[in-house]
């Protein structure tokens, strides 16, 4: 089985967003930002109210804390996506719209792009992650091959081939960036 395609900015962006959504570090960081900032503002509101008797400022701080807690997930989603868009534009600019070829042998995967060729043993394939628009072939080194679904003629055969080489299939068809 041979697959030829080109990766776009959106392909790299979706991969970055997917890996971020599965990263424990990023989950903790987003959770802490959602919780810590409102706590700080509530404490400041209490301090202003108790020390200076300025109830308006204290209430303002508390209202801001509540709004932050409620709207931070939307802000965080936008901010991380913007960050990763800039990251992709800066770090993958030389790989955008360049030909990629993946060929499956009996025991290995041969990946070839405009700069290099790699022969990956089937035992090095860790997971085949399927999202709505992509397949990510995750290696034991935590690197991944990004394969857009539109470039694969027979997706069932593709999944079968990759899992036969030793990758565990992961169904993430309902995944979306949050």
Contact 102, 2 (CB under 8 A): yes
DSSP string, 65-123: HHHHHHHHHHHHHHHHHHHHHHHHHHHSTTTTT-EEEEEE-SSEEEEE-SS-EEEEEGG
> pTM to 2 decimals?
0.86
Kindly list the domain boundaries of the chain, sorted by start residue: 2-7+96-171, 10-91
Asked if pLDDT for residue 25 goes beyond 90, the answer is yes
Residue of higher predicted confidence among 151 and 53: 151
Mean pLDDT of 129-138: 95
pLDDT at 4: 92
Architecture of domain 2-7+96-171: Roll (2.30)
- Over the stretch 76-112, which tens digit does the pLDDT of each residue have? 999 999 999 999 999 998 889 999 999 988 888 999 9
Mean pLDDT of 100-127: 90
Strand order in the sheet with 108-112: 2-6, 99-104, 108-112, 117-121
Residue 20: pLDDT band by 50, 70, 90 thresholds?
Answer: very high
Residue 56: pLDDT band by 50, 70, 90 thresholds?
Answer: confident
């Amino acid at each position: 089985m041979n697959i030829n395609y080109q990766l776009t900015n959106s392909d790299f962006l979706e991969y970055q967003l997917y890996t971020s959504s599965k990263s424990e570090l990023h989950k903790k960081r987003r959770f802490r930002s959602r919780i810590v900032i409102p706590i700080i503002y509530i404490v400041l509101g209490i301090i202003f109210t108790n020390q200076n008797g300025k109830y308006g400022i204290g209430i303002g701080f508390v209202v801001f804390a509540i709004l932050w807690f409620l709207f931070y997930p939307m802000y965080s989603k936008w901010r991380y996506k913007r960050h990763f868009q800039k990251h992709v534009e800066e770090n993958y600019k030389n790989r955008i719209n360049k030909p990629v070829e993946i060929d499956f042998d009996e025991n290995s995967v041969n990946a070839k792009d405009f700069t290099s060729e790699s022969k990956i043993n089937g035992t090095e394939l860790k997971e085949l992650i399927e999202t709505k628009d992509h397949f990510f072939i995750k290696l034991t080194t935590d690197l991944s091959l990004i394969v857009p679904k539109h470039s694969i003629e027979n997706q069932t055969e593709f999944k079968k081939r990759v899992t036969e080489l030793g990758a565990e299939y992961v169904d993430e068809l309902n995944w979306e960036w949050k």
